[in-house]
Amino acid sequence: MTAPDSPDARNVSAEAETVGGLAAVERVAARLGLRPTSLRVLATGWGLVIALEPLPAVARVCLVAADERRTVPQAVQVRLAAYAAARGAPVVSPLSDVDPGPHVEGRFVVTLWERVPAEAPDPAAAGRALRALHETIAAYPGPLPPYDPRPSARRIAAELPASAHETAAVLRAACVAYTPPDLPGQPLHGDAHLGNALGGGLGPLWNDFEYACHGPVEWDLASAAHRATVFGELVDETRAFLAAYGADAVHRADVMSAAFGLHAAAQTASALVSRPALHAQARRRLDWVRSRLAL
């Protein structure tokens, strides 16, 4: 018998989650009168993206228990994206001819979106598209959670297993050391890295609003710069992205880099509990936060 915490057991669990997610999408589609001939997994990782072939639609599926912490952000992202799409912003739109969700199916949360080409965008065009998105959603009237990463980081620190005591200690210390800057806020994408902008003939379209929040624009700029700042990756692309957003965007991204770094470190630490392949990434982020905040 395989031990519960063995690599083989984790692989089986991941496979079971995918099978369960596909079944959840199948049930949602049937309930809404959609008739895909097949379901195809387009992406895995932090969640599933599933194509409803041959319909021009995809489903996004959360691979965790469908509790309030997951259904609330899913509802927020659908409402904000629909608001932006209706006003011509460069976003992937939720489906409009059926209820886009969120639909709760057992342990899964399913939302439905228009399908667009999943091509990497031109970084400069993505930077301009983010600015256009910010301008469009600035007047969004709906409630959004605050960007402040400290409440979530404290909760994650409290929920980590005893074996992650060092990580929990760093997260708690970072929450004490970090002081939010006094900056004006507005509705934000919340996770505006290049991987969340899709290219193709339609141009860059912003996608995946799960971390939508209210805060300084600098938060989204810091999220766009995070991989270059922490991992030294996509440096040229990030430079082009920020330059296209605005002349002062590099400085503005740096202002919030510690805040977004704390958010990313906490989220990765939480995911690491069930995704051990993230160990190196989690360690790098945690070490960066420790250094940046002089912990």
pLDDT(6) > 80: no
How sure is the predictor about 201, in pLDDT bands with cuts at 50, 70 and 90? confident
How sure is the predictor about 63, in pLDDT bands with cuts at 50, 70 and 90? low
Based on the domain organization, do 137 and 34 belong to the same domain?
no
Give the pLDDT of residue 252: 97
Based on the domain organization, do 139 and 212 belong to the same domain?
yes
In a domain, 2, yes or no: no
Answer whether the bond into residue 102 is a cis peptide, omega within 30°: yes
Based on the domain organization, do 176 and 76 belong to the same domain?
no
CA 20 to mean position of chain CA atoms: 21
pLDDT(198) > 60: yes
Give the pLDDT of residue 5: 33
How sure is the predictor about 199, in pLDDT bands with cuts at 50, 70 and 90? confident
Based on the domain organization, do 252 and 145 belong to the same domain?
yes
In a domain, 1, yes or no: no
pLDDT(280) > 70: yes
Across 194-206, b (16+ Cβ under 10 Å) vs e yields bebbbbeeebbbb
Give the pLDDT of residue 13: 60
The Cβ of residue 225 has, within 10 Å, a number of other Cβ atoms equal to: 26
Mean pLDDT taken over the chain: 90
Which residues span the domain enclosing 69? 7-114
Which residue has better confidence, 75 or 265? 265
Q: Where are the alpha helices (DSSP H) in the chain?
A: 7-32, 68-86, 123-137, 150-159, 165-177, 217-226, 235-245, 249-255, 257-272, 279-292
Among 97, 114, 131, the domain boundary falls at 114
Which residue has better confidence, 71 or 101? 101
Task: For residues 157-167, give the mean pLDDT.
Answer: 95
Model confidence pLDDT, tens digit, residues 230-243 = 999 999 999 999 99
Task: For residues 175-197, give the mean pLDDT.
Answer: 96
Task: For residues 95-107, give the mean pLDDT.
Answer: 92
In a domain, 39, yes or no: yes
Give me the long-range contacts of 65-71 (CB less than 8 A, separation at least 24): 65/107, 66/104, 66/105, 66/106, 66/107, 66/108, 66/109, 70/109, 71/102, 71/104, 71/109
Q: Which has the closest alpha carbon to 116: 70, 87, 85, 79?
A: 85
Based on the domain organization, do 177 and 275 belong to the same domain?
yes
In a domain, 225, yes or no: yes
Based on the domain organization, do 244 and 165 belong to the same domain?
yes
Among 95, 114, 133, the domain boundary falls at 114
Task: For residues 256-273, give the mean pLDDT.
Answer: 94
Domain count, the chain: 2
Based on the domain organization, do 165 and 263 belong to the same domain?
yes
pLDDT(69) > 60: no
In a domain, 81, yes or no: yes
Based on the domain organization, do 110 and 128 belong to the same domain?
no
pLDDT(70) > 90: no
Q: What's the rounded Cα separation, in Å, for the pair 140 and 125? A: 23
User: CATH number of the domain that 23 lies in?
Assistant: 3.30.200.20
Angle between helices 150-159 and 165-177 (to 10 degrees): 160
Model confidence pLDDT, tens digit, residues 126-154 = 999 999 999 999 999 999 999 999 999 99
What is the value of pTM for the model shown? 0.90
How sure is the predictor about 9, in pLDDT bands with cuts at 50, 70 and 90? very low
Q: What's the rounded Cα separation, in Å, for the pair 14 and 12? A: 6
pLDDT(66) > 70: no
The answer to whether 80 touches 186, Cβ cutoff 8 Å, is no
Based on the domain organization, do 169 and 247 belong to the same domain?
yes
Based on the domain organization, do 284 and 185 belong to the same domain?
yes
Of 145-149, 189-193, 199-203, the range with the lowest mean pLDDT is 199-203
In the chain, % of residues over pLDDT 90:
78
Among 114, 139, 173, the domain boundary falls at 114
CA distances from 46 to 61, 137, 161, 165, 287 (A): 9, 26, 20, 23, 22
pLDDT(4) > 90: no
User: CATH number of the domain that 187 lies in?
Assistant: 3.90.1200.10
pLDDT(254) > 60: yes
Based on the domain organization, do 168 and 260 belong to the same domain?
yes
pLDDT(122) > 70: yes
Based on the domain organization, do 169 and 133 belong to the same domain?
yes
